[in-house]
A = this chain, B = another copy of it.
């Protein structure tokens, strides 16, 4: 018996703080446990003893005669620690602490919560809460409703974790209302011990749970979440609603939960990399859950529409195209078959419009015909009320067809009244039905997303041979001077040591030195003066581009010296930087940013003047796998430019990916790197090379000093 089993599959439950007083949690929990017919003994615990909900109450868990797996604790927070001591003495290994008054209430509560967690660890217990709504397991051999939500649970295949107690309860209500059942529910509350990750890991091999739903306001341990979710999401869909996207929302979230919300970009990257399907509204979360409960994962993204009305067929087509799926090209034989029984006014092209008067038999044969077509991966059937054809009959027909074709998703759009949906809620429904075409297509797109995720290779965090020592030396030099910011030259040195193609350059104090450097780099080159007194080097003619030969370099050097002398600016001159001239119109940007909660994040996108305006950039958490890197490069709009749009030289995409992977390795090796920018990462028009023309690195000083000491 794994430790979470004590909580989720207890053989006996004690309710500490059980009460006879109506409308208290101590009374409600007792009632719910009994009402939902918990399959083991329930022991109410109350110092006063007596009878509660028809059961004899014990003054303490120690007074209970039989063994107990789970204590549901609803007493005042001041008494929780001693209750846990008694639970331990009794041999109880599972706790659900519903009581509030912990971390969420301030510093004193946080101390109490720390003490609680210490006891849980010391006693080898597991604990849900504190400050939570409880937990539910609908399995017939358990039937535990240890939760004070309004509605009794419906049996289903969802594992649901909610960070917000009140919202969790609201969601349970709506799920029931929508006729969506669940297998297990955990309200994690302050998540002192059990959190979303614990639940996901527990459900990974729980046959009862076919999909996992998360309502989150923060992610406690992003790295662990990522490791688990990446693995588990390949087996079961994980759907998450992560609130606190906007800055205002995130600030409301952190005041609400007392936990750091973290930047939404990082959360979004984390969820995407982990294969978690992110939903942005409860409504869509529910719609998606309904589809996963009733549909197989499709083999492809080609959708056929069967309808008795043109309008909704068009609306569904619009939505299918917009969400990156395809309208299935029906085979000729499918069209012939359809033509053989549908009326002349019908359209046998996709969307198949059977016209308004389609009888039940046309629905059945049309659905069967398109489902049998190898060009079709998914089917949406649309019904608009028509005299003489009952919605519920069409629905039943669909469920029969679905049974005979269990391998392809079949969804229903019934633009009828809510009576239809009420009728469904008393039935054993095996097809997801929606009122609106867009809702159905939206949810269908999630099936397709899960398919793509399952098909996606896992990828690996490639490690390259690099000159780690050189980087350590460079960092130490900066740290010795107490600088958290590396100079441009140091930054470029670090990049070079990690095998990133940097723009060749060198520093020269004379024309001869300049020519030697340029000869080594190869022409054309750029010459830039560096001076202690003149910062605007362009204004004084201090930048000379497109120098194509040693002779031209000498001429330009002489001319520069002459011009500076003329202007009386020669004194401050330190020398010139000779730089490889990278010709190209495509400036990309890549780098590393650090989110206080999620850690190092990789960035890639379109650079130059467009970086802030277009925001054509994408983020992923480090470390990157090669698959992550490939997806990053392909996920920006500017990828088309990289491919060689408008007659440009195709960029070396492999090399760009490698650049990202090498940066990821760098920040994995040196986690104190706080910020890193390669801007621009220029795409050479000559050969498509991606060349770091400028670099900037910043470290977290104290952390770096500690790590390199």
Number of residues from A at the complex interface, CB < 8 A:
88
Contact A614 B612 (CB under 8 A): no
Contacts of A646 in B (CB 8 A): 609, 612
CB of A439 within 8 Å of the partner chain = yes
Contact A170 B283 (CB under 8 A): no
The verdict on A309 contacting B170 (CB below 8 Å), with A314-B249, A314-B253, A435-B283 known, is: yes
Contact A317 B281 (CB under 8 A): no
In Å, the complex CA distance between A249 and B305 comes to 12
Contact A256 B28 (CB under 8 A): no
Contact A612 B645 (CB under 8 A): yes
A222-233 vs B, Cβ < 8 Å mask (1 yes, 0 no) = 000000000000
Partner of A217, one of B28, B171, B314, B640: B314
What's the dominant secondary structure at chain A's contact region? Answer: helix
Q: Give the shortest distance, in Å, between A444 (CB) and chain B (any CB).
A: 15
Nearest chain B residue, comparing its CB with the CB of A421: B418
CB of A107 within 8 Å of the partner chain = no
8 Å CB contacts to B: which residues of A245-275? Answer: 245-249, 252-253, 255-257
Contact A173 B248 (CB under 8 A): no
Contacts of A435 in B (CB 8 A): 174, 283
CB of A555 within 8 Å of the partner chain = no
The verdict on A415 contacting B170 (CB below 8 Å), with A281-B436, A327-B248 known, is: yes
A414-451 vs B, Cβ < 8 Å mask (1 yes, 0 no) = 01111100100000000000011111000000000000
Contacts of A166 in B (CB 8 A): 308-311, 356, 384, 386
CB of A313 within 8 Å of the partner chain = yes
In Å, the complex CA distance between A585 and B585 comes to 11
Q: Give the shortest distance, in Å, between A693 (CB) and chain B (any CB).
A: 16
CB of A641 within 8 Å of the partner chain = yes
CB of A191 within 8 Å of the partner chain = no
The verdict on A243 contacting B315 (CB below 8 Å), with A283-B439, A327-B248, A613-B641 known, is: yes
Contact B415 A174 (CB under 8 A): yes
Contact A150 B322 (CB under 8 A): no
CB of A318 within 8 Å of the partner chain = yes
Nearest chain B residue, comparing its CB with the CB of A316: B249
A264-307 vs B, Cβ < 8 Å mask (1 yes, 0 no) = 00000000000000001111000000000000000000000000
Contacts of A243 in B (CB 8 A): 311, 314-315, 318
Contact B247 A173 (CB under 8 A): no
Contact A28 B613 (CB under 8 A): no
CB of A167 within 8 Å of the partner chain = yes
CB of A189 within 8 Å of the partner chain = no
Contact B311 A247 (CB under 8 A): no
CB of A151 within 8 Å of the partner chain = yes
In Å, the complex CA distance between A664 and B406 comes to 57
Contact A614 B637 (CB under 8 A): yes
8 Å CB contacts to B: which residues of A207-225? Answer: 215, 217
CB of A94 within 8 Å of the partner chain = no
Q: Give the shortest distance, in Å, between A556 (CB) and chain B (any CB).
A: 16
CB of A388 within 8 Å of the partner chain = yes
Contact A252 B310 (CB under 8 A): yes
In Å, the complex CA distance between A177 and B435 comes to 11
Partner of A283, one of B148, B385, B438, B614: B438
Partner of A613, one of B215, B387, B612, B640: B640
CB of A677 within 8 Å of the partner chain = no
CB of A610 within 8 Å of the partner chain = yes
Q: Give the shortest distance, in Å, between A643 (CB) and chain B (any CB).
A: 10
In Å, the complex CA distance between A375 and B274 comes to 42
CB of A688 within 8 Å of the partner chain = no
Nearest chain B residue, comparing its CB with the CB of A178: B418
Contact A310 B257 (CB under 8 A): yes
Contact B585 A255 (CB under 8 A): no
The verdict on A322 contacting B246 (CB below 8 Å), with A174-B415, A312-B167 known, is: yes
CB of A321 within 8 Å of the partner chain = yes
Contact A318 B609 (CB under 8 A): no
CB of A164 within 8 Å of the partner chain = yes
Q: Give the shortest distance, in Å, between A281 (CB) and chain B (any CB).
A: 4
In Å, the complex CA distance between A416 and B283 comes to 13
In Å, the complex CA distance between A293 and B228 comes to 48
Nearest chain B residue, comparing its CB with the CB of A420: B177
> Among A150, A217, A248, which residue has the most Cβ atoms of chain B within 10 A?
A248
Contact B252 A314 (CB under 8 A): yes
Contact A385 B170 (CB under 8 A): yes
Nearest chain B residue, comparing its CB with the CB of A353: B256
The verdict on A315 contacting B282 (CB below 8 Å), with A166-B309, A170-B309, A322-B245 known, is: yes
In Å, the complex CA distance between A171 and B248 comes to 37
Contacts of A439 in B (CB 8 A): 281, 283
Partner of A167, one of B256, B309, B351, B613: B309
Nearest chain B residue, comparing its CB with the CB of A151: B417
Contact B215 A311 (CB under 8 A): yes
CB of A159 within 8 Å of the partner chain = no
Contact A387 B315 (CB under 8 A): no
8 Å CB contacts to B: which residues of A122-151? Answer: 148, 150-151
13 A-B pairs in the complex with CB atoms less than 8 angstroms apart: A165-B356, A166-B356, A167-B310, A170-B309, A173-B416, A177-B417, A245-B322, A246-B321, A256-B311, A283-B438, A609-B641, A609-B645, A609-B646
Chain A residues within CB distance 8 Å of chain B: 23, 28, 105, 148, 150-151, 163-167, 169-171, 173-174, 176-177, 215, 217, 243-249, 252-253, 255-257, 280-283, 308-315, 317-318, 320-322, 327, 345, 347, 349, 351, 353, 356, 384-388, 415-419, 422, 435-439, 585-586, 609-610, 612-616, 637-638, 640-641, 645-646, 648
Closest 5 CB pairs of A and B: A167-B311, A246-B321, A256-B310, A164-B311, A166-B309
